[in-house]
Amino acid sequence: MKPILIVNHLNVKVGDRTLIRDLSFKIIPGTLTCITGGNGVGKTTLMKTLLRNYSRTGKHVRFTVPRHKVQYIPQFRNIDTEFPLTVKDFVSLSLQDTWLPWLTRREHKALKQTLQLTHLTKLANEPLGEASGGEQQRAFLAQALVTFPKLLIMDETTASLDINAKVALLKLVHDIVKQRHVAVMFITHDPTLVKRFGNYKLRIKNQHGSFEKIGGRN
Ligand SMILES: Nc1ncnc2c1ncn2[C@@H]1O[C@H](COP(=O)(O)OP(=O)(O)OP(=O)(O)O)[C@@H](O)[C@H]1O
């Protein structure tokens, strides 16, 4: 299957400091790749490097999909609990790329489908600030999914959740990977999640990355 992202002999740096050397791997559609490694090894910096070097022809980082088909959910999102933004409005912030101040029929359809997919339909008109941690994470996921990305990069979005909520979110992500045939790169410190939901694992240690298939999954 044609990869979405090809990384070839990439060095990842912050300033003059090299965090990861000679990294190579490929991401294919419909798979979940877990990125693991100790604190400070460069997982987040790797994701930022990939996005910063987005190119269709690059030697070290090459994407085969347009930039708008790659979405990133960052590690920290601050939500102002006082701000009167509903779940639905928050999710639609990724839409509205036309000059129209309202959503098109197609955008409405995408919004409705995505709210259903992420089990947020009932909460659509509730304030995001009042949603639980797990519900907010689903809203972040929905905001990224509403544009139908081909590659979704998630940076430890489960860090603030308890284990049951983490498993529930990853189960949902895993189902979406299969249903929408999207590729997900997911940074995590949690071996249980890697074992249970990952198709591939990229482990970063001592400035090197090892990329391997997990179990018998594709
Ligand atoms: N903008 C920056 N300027 C200087 N140093 C940075 C910058 N961003 C990251 N670093 C450093 O690069 C190293 C890797 O950071 P990074 O956040 O990529 O690690 P990580 O593997 O994602 O860590 P964690 O698991 O703790 O989130 C750290 O030592 C960090 O302090």
Residue 14 CA to ligand 1 centre (angstroms): 8
Structure tokens at 155: 């940076």
As a whole number of angstroms, the distance between CA 58 and CA 120 comes to: 38
Q: Which CATH superfamily is domain 1-65+150-217 in?
A: P-loop containing nucleotide triphosphate hydrolases (3.40.50.300)
Q: Candidates 14, 47, 158: which one to mutate for ligand 1, based on the most atoms within 8 Å of Cβ?
A: 14
Q: Candidates 44, 48, 187, 189: which one to mutate for ligand 1, based on the most atoms within 8 Å of Cβ?
A: 44
Residue 2 CA to ligand 1 centre (angstroms): 31
Which atom belonging to ligand 1 lies closest to the Cα atom of 37?
A: 21
Structure tokens at 63: 């994407």
- What is the CB neighbour count within 10 angstroms for residue 154? 26
Nearest CA to ligand 1 atom 1: 14
Q: What is the ipTM of this complex?
A: 0.95
Evaluated on CA atoms 111, 117, 118, 120, the torsion sign reads positive
Q: Please give the average per-residue pLDDT across 151-169, as a whole number.
A: 85
147 burial (CB, 10 Å; 0-12 / 13-18 / 19+) is middle
Alpha-helix residue ranges (DSSP H) falling in the chain: 43-52, 87-92, 105-117, 133-145, 163-180, 191-197
169 within 8 A of 73, measured Cβ to Cβ: no
As a whole number of angstroms, the distance between CA 138 and CA 118 comes to: 6
Nearest CA to ligand 1 atom 28: 40
The tens digit of pLDDT for each residue in 57-109 reads 999 999 999 999 999 987 666 666 667 789 999 998 888 665 556 678 888 89
CATH 3.40.50.300 range(s) for the chain read: 1-65+150-217
Name, in order, each residue with C-beta under 8 angstroms of 61's C-beta and a sequence gap of 6 or more: 5, 6, 7, 8, 10, 49, 50, 53, 54, 55
Buried b (16+ CB within 10 A) or exposed e, 10-44: bebeeeeeebbeebebbbebbbbbbbbbeeebbbe
The tens digit of pLDDT for each residue in 177-190 reads 999 999 999 999 88
Lowest-pLDDT choice from 67-71, 121-125, 147-151, 188-192 = 188-192
**Mean pLDDT, all residues of the chain:** 90
pTM: 0.91
What's the pLDDT score for residue 103? 72
Please provide the size of the chain in residues.
218
Is any atom of ligand 1 closer than 6 Å to the C-beta of 19? yes
Is any atom of ligand 1 closer than 6 Å to the C-beta of 207? no
Confidence category of residue 158, pLDDT binned at 50, 70, 90? low
Is any atom of ligand 1 closer than 6 Å to the C-beta of 205? no
Q: Please give the average per-residue pLDDT across 42-61, as a whole number.
A: 95
What's the N-to-C CA distance of the chain in angstroms? 11
